[in-house]
Amino acid sequence: MKYRLFLAVVVFVLVPFLIVFRVSGTPTAPAPAPTPAVETSSSTSLRSLAQKRGFSIGAGVELAPLQNDPNYGSVLAREFNLLVPENAFKFDDLHPKRDRYDFRKLDRFFAFAKANNMLVRGSPLVWHYALPSWLNEGNFTRDELLAIMREHIQTLVSRYRGQVFAWDVVNEALNRDGSLKDTIWLRQIGPEYIDLAYRWTHEADPQARLFYSDYQNEELGRKADAMYTMVKGLLQRGVPIHGVGFQSHRGLKNPPDLESHAKNIKRFGELGVEVQFTELDIKIAEGTGSKEERLAAQARTYGDLLQVCLRAQNCSAFITWGFTDRYTWISGTTGELDAPLIFDKSYQPKPAYNTIKEVLNSGV
C-alpha cells in the first residue's frame, strides 16, 4: 500500500515536469496564421515622408481585398495619402443599366478614404473601354448619346462633389500615331465630345482638378506631341483642364528615357499644366539576370522616375497601380505571373519600396 502511494506521488510530481520540459525544450512548427503586414513606423512611412514635402503618394485600390483582407487596408492607410479605385468608377461597373447606377462599392471605398484622411482621385469618366452592353448595342442618335454622356458624368461627379480632388475626365483617346481613336464617342458625337466632357465635369464640381490620362505618352514622340497639342488647344478654347496623367505601365525590357520624361513634363509646366504618374507598375518577368538582380533594376527604375517627378515643380503625384504583388491587374487581366509592385505577396517591402523611401527622404 505504501509502495503504491509512493509511486502515485512520484508520477504526480514528475509527469508535469517532464511535459513542461518537453514543450519548452523541443522546437515545434508554428500554427498557420494570416500573413502579417510588415511592421513599419508611421513616422517613416512613404505617406509621412511625402506629406512633409507636400507631395501625393498614391495607389490604385481593388475593392474586394479592401473589404476582405485586413492587411490590405492597414498597409494602404499607413503608406499612402491618395487612393484611386482601379475599377469601381468604370462605366459598366457603375452604370450597368441605362436607368440604374450602383454606388454601393464606391460608397464603402469613400468611407474608408474619409476615415483615413486620404485624397481620392477619380478615373475614368469617358473611356471607350469597359462600357455596358446597353450602351455599345443601343444604336443611339448623336443627341441621345450626348445626353447619356452628360448624365453619366454629372451624376457621378455631383454625387462625390468635394470628395474627389481630381478626375481623369477623358481616358486614352489617342492612338500611338497621335490620331484620335475610333471610339463610340468619336464616331457618333465627333471630336467635340472631349471639350464637352471637360465642361460638363467642371459644371458638376468647379473645384475638382481635371486631367487627361493615357499610356505611352511619357516620353517625347508622336503620341506625346499630340497630347500636348490637344491640351494646348483645350486651354486656348477656354476648356477647363488642369493636368495630364502618365499611366506608365512599364517593364525592365525598355528602361525609361529620363531626359525625355523631364522635357515632356517641363513643356506641360510651361502651359501651366500639372503632370502626375497615375498607374505606375514595372514588370520584371521580361528582364534578365537573377530575381534579385531584376528586383534591384525595378527599384532603380521606380527611384529614377520619382526623382524626375520631384525635380519638376508641376509634377504633383506618384501613383502605383496597386501596391502589393498579391493583387495586381497584370495577373488578373493577362494571366502573366509577375511582381510589378513595391510590396510582395506577403505585404513585405521590396527593394523598390526602400528606394522610393530613400528618394522621398533625400534632398531631391
Q: Judge contact between 188 and 232, C-beta under 8 A.
A: no
User: Which H/E stretch holds residue 28?
Assistant: none
C-beta separation of 295 from 284 below 8 A: yes
- Pick the catalytic residue: 86, 172, 218, 274? 172
Q: Is 19 exposed, middle or buried (0-12, 13-18, 19+ CB in 10 A)?
A: exposed
Distance between CA 308 and CA 107 in Å, rounded? 35
Q: What distance in Å separates the CA atoms of residue 98 and residue 351, rounded to the nearest whole number?
A: 46
Distance, in Å, from the CA atom of 134 to the CA atom of 125, rounded to the nearest integer, reads 17
Query: Cα(first)–Cα(last) distance of the chain, in Å?
Result: 87
> What DSSP string runs through 273-304?
-EEEEEEEEEE-TTS-S-HHHHHHHHHHHHHH
- The β-bridge relationship of strands 56-61 and 315-320 is parallel
Among this protein's residues, is 279 annotated catalytic? yes
Give every CB contact of residue 124 below 8 A, 6+ residues apart in sequence.
89, 90, 168, 169, 170, 171, 172, 213
286 is catalytic: no
Long-range contacts of residues 322-327, Cβ cutoff 8 Å, at least 24 apart: 322/59, 322/60, 322/61, 322/62, 322/86, 322/281, 323/59, 323/60, 323/75, 323/76, 323/79, 323/80, 324/72, 324/75, 326/65, 326/72, 327/62, 327/65, 327/72
Question: How does strand 82-85 pair with strand 209-214?
Answer: unpaired
Residue type, 102: D
Which residues are part of the catalytic machinery?
172, 279
